[in-house]
């Protein structure tokens, strides 16, 4: 497996997986809005550099999503990512109920722009992203 690391901090990790052909972004428990914005920039760089169409967002450990980070993700990252070619987004849901409710509130905006599915595990998300054809049935929100 060939991994190109774009960001590796205790609270935000982002890499390009050349074998799987997707971008992985993982969040720790308490990423700040500034760290989320740094992750956004790194993700856009990876999308641009690799002409990537798929992204796996691992939010299992996230405890909270600050309103400013939520706004940056929906209003800044999402339109730019779609313009760069993002087609499929797999989101591994947070275990924290607070973060989960925030992520769920963001899903309609994501689903309007890109094929987005949510999962309980990274393995399920990876399997969906690896499928040759898009799923015809959306999993429950």
Domains of the chain: 3-130 (3.30.750.24)
CA-based nearest residue to 100, from 72, 141, 135: 141
Per-residue pLDDT of the chain (141 residues; tens, 9 = 90+): 699 999 999 999 999 999 999 999 999 888 899 999 999 999 999 999 999 999 999 999 988 888 898 899 999 999 999 999 999 999 999 999 998 999 999 999 999 999 999 999 999 999 999 996 444 333 444
Structural contact between residues 132 and 101, judged by C-beta atoms closer than 8 angstroms: no
């Amino acid at each position: 497996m060939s991994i190109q690391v774009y960001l590796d901090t205790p609270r935000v990790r982002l890499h390009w997986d050349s074998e799987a052909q997707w971008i992985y972004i993982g969040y720790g428990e308490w990423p700040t809005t500034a760290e989320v914005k740094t992750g956004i920039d790194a993700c856009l760089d990876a999308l641009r550099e690799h002409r990537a169409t798929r992204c796996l967002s691992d939010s299992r450990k996230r405890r909270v999503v600050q309103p400013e980070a939520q706004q940056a993700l929906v209003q800044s990252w999402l339109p730019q990512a779609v313009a760069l070619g993002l087609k499929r987004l797999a989101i591994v849901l947070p275990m924290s109920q607070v973060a989960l409710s925030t992520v769920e509130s963001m899903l309609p905006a994501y689903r309007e722009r890109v094929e987005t599915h949510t999962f309980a595990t990274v393995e399920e998300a990876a399997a969906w992203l690896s499928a040759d054809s898009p799923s015809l049935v959306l999993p429950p929100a």
